[in-house]
Amino acid sequence: MAEVGRLAGVSQVTVSRALSAPEKVSPETLQRIHDAIERTGYVPNAVAGALASSKSNLIAALVPSVTNIVYSSMLHAFSNIMWGHGYQIMLSETGFDLGREEQAIATHLSRRPDAILLTGKHHSAGARRMLHNAGIPVVEVWDISDTPIDCCVGFSHAEAGLAAADYAVDAGYLKATTITAGDERAVRRRDAFASRFAKRTGTSVGRVEYDISASLGLGRDALTQLLEQGLPPRSVVFCSSDQFAQGVLIEANKRGLKIPEDLAVIGFGDQEFAASTEPGLTSIRIDRQVLGQVAANALVDRFRSAEPLQAVHDIGFEIVRRGSA
């Protein structure tokens, strides 16, 4: 600031005033200061400004993966609206590790964000304490809860699993297996699916589990395991993600299995490639654009109100029927 003031021919106090209250500085002086800022590349200390004004114009966003289209497309819609209201996004990748999420929350809160977006409703006790004490709006996405930290936007994972089971039974499949990654939301969908399918058919549901994120390779590996165990005819496989499901389709085609006659496949997420697989992948769709937009608008409403206007936003889901089931 001292260097900017020297170049503009004004005091450091005048530079500070021009940045915090430009209407109090003459247009000619303000222009000289802006020219000096451009020449020096000076960036004001936003943290100090936030401490003084209690506003940073930053939104912290924590997601399991920044490369997964499921989260990145939601964030795109979210950030577009927040940008329009003058906010920038600070983004961190947490995986599915509650300890890592807690550390990220502490780091972000030290930067004084105006609000925070979290993925899911399960957080460590330490994370919850920090969020409650921070006194800023919090929106939890990809899940719903009767007791959100502040407000939540998502859908019921258990209901999605139940709907998938009903769809499979109504389509005539009498045997089922699940392929699930290391995500507690995926486990809830799996357990609901298995419970409903077993209740309606009287047969237990097999499972293949992985402690890591889904991939095409693991989907192929899962089907290989199932075939080695002796997969019954007219079976359906319910996958916790479309990546698993696509891997299953690839391996099935390699082995000459007919889909859905020999094996039916249901995915989750309805990613962009789902309609282009062979056959097209039946999947559970969540409108990621709507999710991001509703989450952003919920925060905007919170900035205007001391309490959430609506604590729970259930955007629902849809089963998209294609050739795989």
Query: What are the residue boundaries of the structural domains of the chain, listed by start?
Result: 2-44, 55-155+288-316, 157-285
Mean pLDDT of 92-121: 92
Facing residues of 138 across strands? 116
Residue 83: the pLDDT is 95
Residues with Cβ within 8 Å of residue 210, at least 6 apart in sequence: 179, 180, 181, 182, 218, 222
What are the C-alpha distances in Å from 207 to residues 13, 51, 188, 224, 225? 68, 52, 13, 13, 10
Confirm whether 55-155+288-316 and 157-285 share one CATH topology. yes
pTM over 0.85: no
Share of the chain above pLDDT 70, in %: 96
Q: Is the pLDDT of residue 101 over 80?
A: yes
Q: Is the pLDDT of residue 87 over 60?
A: yes
- By the 10 Å C-beta count (0-12 exposed, 13-18 middle, 19+ buried), 305 is classed as exposed
Both structure tokens of 3 = 């260097």
Name the band, by pLDDT with cuts 50, 70 and 90, for residue 295: very high
Mean pLDDT of 45-50: 54
What mean pLDDT value characterizes the chain?
A: 91
Residue 314: the pLDDT is 97
User: Helix 12-20 vs helix 27-40: angle between axes, to the nearest 10 degrees?
Assistant: 100
Which residue has tokens 């402690």? 211
CATH superfamily of 2-44: lambda repressor-like DNA-binding domains (1.10.260.40)
Q: What architecture (CATH level 2) is domain 55-155+288-316?
A: 3-Layer(aba) Sandwich (3.40)
What are the C-alpha distances in Å from 111 to residues 51, 66, 183, 223? 10, 21, 29, 46
Name the band, by pLDDT with cuts 50, 70 and 90, for residue 46: low
CATH superfamily of 157-285: Response regulator (3.40.50.2300)
Mean pLDDT of 24-50: 78
Residue 175: the pLDDT is 95
Name the band, by pLDDT with cuts 50, 70 and 90, for residue 183: confident
Residue 47: the pLDDT is 53
Mean pLDDT of 204-231: 93
Q: In the chain, where do the E strands start and end?
A: 58-63, 88-93, 115-119, 138-141, 151-154, 175-180, 206-209, 235-239, 263-268, 282-285, 312-314, 318-320
SS3 of residue 58 by DSSP: strand
Q: Is the pLDDT of residue 261 over 70?
A: yes
How far is Cα 291 from Cα 275, in angstroms, rounded to an integer? 21
How far is Cα 322 from Cα 325, in angstroms, rounded to an integer? 6
